[in-house]
Amino acid sequence: MKLLRFGEPGQEKPGLLDGETLRDLSGVIRDVNPQTLSDAALENLRQLDFSTLPEVTGNPRIGACVARVGKFICIGLNYKDHADETGAAYPKEPIIFMKATSAIQGPNDTILIPRNSKKTDWEVELGVVIGRAGKYISVENALSHVAGYCTINDVSEREFQMERGGTWDKGKGCDTFGPIGPYLVTRDEVPDPQNLSLWLEVDGHRYQNGTTANMIFTVAELVSCVSQFMSLQPGDIISTGTPAGVGLGQKPEPVYLQAGQTIRLAVEGLGEQLQRVAQDA
């Protein structure tokens, strides 16, 4: 299934993509949130006759595909080619950092370059949405804790991240820096998360063109590893790293986002995002 949320910010309704038709799920569930991500809850939705659900007409705004995200967990330097382009050694174990949940927005909402930013960058990533709570999860059981997957743009301000002292979080959690969606694709429709292409373009120029096969740590290994340090709860999101082609890695000089540009990105089977870039006030 492809679950999504549509409507104006703060007023989103749950929906389901039935082929090319958007269906309204608000008569069945309150929202796509931690309470509706368990295997049992998702199976109940699968048993519905989708054709009986109201059709959503027009072109509504698409919101973040999950509401009430508890933790937005990110993984750094998890693609061999991205580590290579930054000159970093491959991590011995996953690099874990947090992105503020206030950064979350819809997949097509405007990205705002923060005040005083000089180095706002892009990162297409595979997102993992947790559906079942757990801690100290084994690699073998890790994917059973996953509700589904989504496309994420891990927007990053490199000066804030690397040159302002402290951890990476300063450059990762700015408002609008976490577009997720357009939809959550349940894990039964993604039999191998290590075999997905992903790409990103700025103003029609393709900068990133990678595959999750190039991850240093697999999705199962990441879920297991994160759960050794914190419990995972339904609705938590793990953003699993980005392939080569970020602005920071461009040669001979880095390239960063400018107001007025347009970003398109997608993960295979998980939907496309389209964002305009603007300067924050």
Report field, pTM of the whole predicted structure over 0.85: yes
Domain boundaries, the chain: 2-52, 72-279
Could you say which DSSP state residue 36 is in?
G
Do 216 and 80 contact (CB within 8 A), yes or no? yes
Judged by average pLDDT, the poorest of 125-134, 154-163, 187-196, 222-231 is: 154-163
CA distance 160 to 171: 5
- The answer, yes or no, to whether residue 87 has pLDDT greater than 90, is no
Task: Tell me what pLDDT residue 164 has.
Answer: 86
- The answer, yes or no, to whether residue 153 has pLDDT greater than 90, is yes
Out of 1.10.3470.10, 3.30.450.20, 3.60.70.12, 3.90.850.10, the CATH code matching 72-279 is 3.90.850.10
Average pLDDT taken over every residue of the chain: 96
Which residue has better confidence, 250 or 85? 250
User: Which candidate, 166, 157, 173, 174, places its Cα nearest to that of 247?
Assistant: 157
CA dihedral over 263, 241, 130, 220, signed as positive or negative: positive
Average pLDDT of the segment spanning 178-202: 98
Residue 81's CB is within 10 A of a number of other CB atoms, namely 16
Q: What Å distances lie between residue 202 and 36, 240, 259, 261, 276, CA to CA?
A: 35, 21, 12, 7, 10
**At 281, is the pLDDT very low, low, confident or very high (cuts 50, 70, 90)?**
confident
